[in-house]
Amino acid sequence: MKKDIKNRKDIETLVNAFYAKIKEDKLLQSFFTNPEGFNWEKHLNTMYNFWENMLFFSGNYEGNPLHLHRHLHQLTNIKKSHFQRWNKLFSDTVDELYAGKNADLIKKRSINISNIIQKNIIPKEMSE
pLDDT level of residue 125 (50, 70, 90 thresholds): very low
Instruction: Specify the higher pLDDT residue, 126 or 2.
Output: 2
Radius of gyration of the chain (CA): 14
Instruction: Specify the higher pLDDT residue, 32 or 48.
Output: 48
Report residue 56 CA to chain centroid gap. Answer: 16
Superfamily of 8-127 according to CATH: Globins (1.10.490.10)
Distances from the Cα of 18 to the Cα of 53, 64, 73, 85, 128, angstroms: 17, 21, 21, 12, 27
Pairwise CA distance, residues 72 & 50, whole Å: 18
Pairwise CA distance, residues 25 & 116, whole Å: 23
Q: What is the pLDDT of residues 47-86, one digit of tens each?
A: 999 999 999 999 998 888 776 766 666 667 788 899 999 9
